[in-house]
Chains A and B, each alone.
Chain A
Amino acid sequence: MDGVWVFIGADAVIFAILFMSFMKDRLKAPALFEASRHTLNVNLGGIDTLILLTSSWLVALGVGAAKRGELDRVPRFLLGGVLTGCAFVVSKSTEYAEKFLAGIAPATDAFYMWYFTLTGIHLAHVMVGTSLLAYLWTRARRGSVTMTVTECVASFWHLVDLLWIVLFPLLYLQR
């Protein structure tokens, strides 16, 4: 499934374009962006990063176990990936709820438009990735999953992780 790298690569390049577009808009209104940034929940964002890193780690362990034929361990690691993925979704939803309750929405200003758009598209990736991991987990429990599909899903998941490693400082930390 070499073609999947086209998908992953394109996804990475598209996000890179979005990062640049964000920085371009930030250049035009730095004070506004900085003021709005201060309302973001940095602790929650940091925890999100820790969650996704852990999720990637568990999935990587799962792939390693599959390669070595330790088929009993694979479902456990994949389940760990699924649960941490769900934890991210819950955390992000909490963060969004916090914002909406404070009267902040995408249309509030240019920074928030970017914040909701970038984290929203990323969240969609997390949900797709978690669903794929869940599918892998059900197949792994029956012992009927191929290495190729596993590695493709795992690679996508690691992409989701590394995109957040950029997004978090980009939106939450840079002053």
Chain B
Amino acid sequence: MATDADAGTSTARAQGDLSPYPTDFRSWKFLAWMGPVFLAAFFLLWGVLAGNIPPFPPSADPQAVWQHYADHRLAILIGMSVCLTLTACYMAWSVAISKVMERIEGKDGIWSKIEIMGGTITCAPIMTACAMWLAAAHEIHNIDPNTAHLLYWMGWLLIDLAYMVTSFQIAGSSIVFMRDKREKKLVPDAVCWWGWVTVASFFVVNAIPFVTTGPLAFDGVISFWIAFFTWFFWIPAMSYFVIKAVDRLKAEDAAAARVTV
């Protein structure tokens, strides 16, 4: 649809679109940028400021965990609280992706709905875990080491083991974007395959309740470094092409409008 709805010009409609309003490409692009915003917030606030890259070891005893929260209280308060708030950007980003997927799948497509649900629900374990760690830091002088240890583990078990909502999000996007029939796909196959790498890397994380040291522990090379960083790479890769896709779809709609005049 043309962006300036002028009574005099005929506007091309996106497939099946009965709305009298033109597609809001500007908002769409803004929401596509929410992916990098989320990643920056998560990496800098949760990762660096709150000290989770790398995580405080799962092998730490209650006293060590309590001391960690006491020593870094302010940094954790700031990092976790702002990160909790900005996690919503991941939900907004997922909507932008879903609408691009609908242009390939059709408005009734099922994977675009899975993607939007997966991306939105991903926010839940992240926000809740951040809230737990935030509470631990906030209340550290009112709780005993065992409680601190419990809160620490509760956050990690939640944020890690809920991975499959994100897996569904990624899988949905990979499936649909690989089906794109354009000669130059909106999202290249390489990004979709990286999505599959990310999905595959999540499964071993189920080992974290059972080990506190080694590669499978929640600070280990597999469960942390590989599992998180494959996802960290997928977010900007997908964002780049979704942002570009909005422009391409706008051009496609404009071209279609010119043709139907």
* Contact across chains for B222 and A113 when beta carbons are under 8 A apart: no
A1 surroundings in chain B (CB, below 8 A): 189
Asked whether B150 is an interface residue with its Cβ less than 8 Å from the other chain, the reply is no
In the assembled complex, which residues on chain A have CB atoms less than 8 Å from the CB atom of B214? 25, 110, 113-114, 117
CB closest residue in chain A, given B221: A21
Asked whether A103 is an interface residue with its Cβ less than 8 Å from the other chain, the reply is no
* A1 to B226 Cα, complex, angstroms: 25
Encoded as 1 (CB less than 8 Å from any B CB) or 0, chain A from 61 to 100 comes to 0000000000000000000000000000000000000000
Name the B residues within 8 Å of A106 (CB-CB).
211
Interface size of B in residues (CB-CB distance below 8 Å): 23
A23 to chain B, nearest CB (A): 12
Produce 1/0 per residue, B33-54, CB < 8 A to A.
Answer: 0000000000000000000000
Question: Looking at the complex, which one of A2, A21, A107, A114 makes contact with B189 (CB distance below 8 Å)?
Answer: A2
Which of chain A's residues 1-57 have a Cβ closer than 8 Å to chain B?
Answer: 1-4, 6-7, 10-11, 14, 17-18, 21, 25
Roughly how many angstroms separate A17 CA and B204 CA in the complex, as a whole number? 16
Chain A interface: which of B158-166, B192-200, B243-251? B192-200
CB neighbours (8 Å) of A113 from chain B are: 211, 213-216
Q: Which one, A7, A21, A107, A117, contacts B196 given CB within 8 A?
A: A7
- For residue B188, CB closer than 8 A to chain A, the reply is yes
Considering only residues 117-170 of chain A, those with a C-beta below 8 Å from chain B are 117, 121
Main secondary structure of the interface of A (DSSP, over half): helix
Docked pose: A21 CA to B201 CA in angstroms: 16
Write the chain B residue with the least CB distance to A120. Answer: B204
**Residue B190, interface by CB 8 Å:** yes
Pairwise interchain contact A3-B190, C-beta atoms closer than 8 A: yes
User: A6 to B194, Cβ gap below 8 A?
Assistant: yes
Which residues of A sit under 8 angstroms from B188, Cβ to Cβ? 3
Q: List 26 A-B contacts (CB under 8 A).
A: A1-B189, A2-B189, A2-B190, A3-B178, A3-B188, A3-B189, A3-B193, A4-B193, A6-B189, A6-B190, A6-B197, A7-B193, A10-B193, A11-B197, A14-B226, A18-B221, A18-B222, A107-B210, A113-B211, A113-B214, A113-B216, A114-B215, A117-B215, A117-B216, A121-B204, A121-B222
Add 19 more A-B contacts to A7-B196, A11-B200 (CB < 8 A): A2-B189, A3-B178, A3-B190, A4-B193, A6-B194, A10-B197, A10-B230, A14-B226, A17-B221, A18-B215, A18-B222, A21-B215, A25-B214, A107-B210, A110-B213, A114-B214, A117-B215, A117-B216, A121-B222
Please give the residue numbers on chain A whose beta carbons come within 8 Å of chain B beta carbons, in ascending order: 1-4, 6-7, 10-11, 14, 17-18, 21, 25, 106-107, 110, 113-114, 117, 121
Report the 6 A-B pairs with minimum CB-CB distance, sorted nearest first. A3-B189, A3-B193, A6-B193, A113-B214, A10-B197, A21-B221
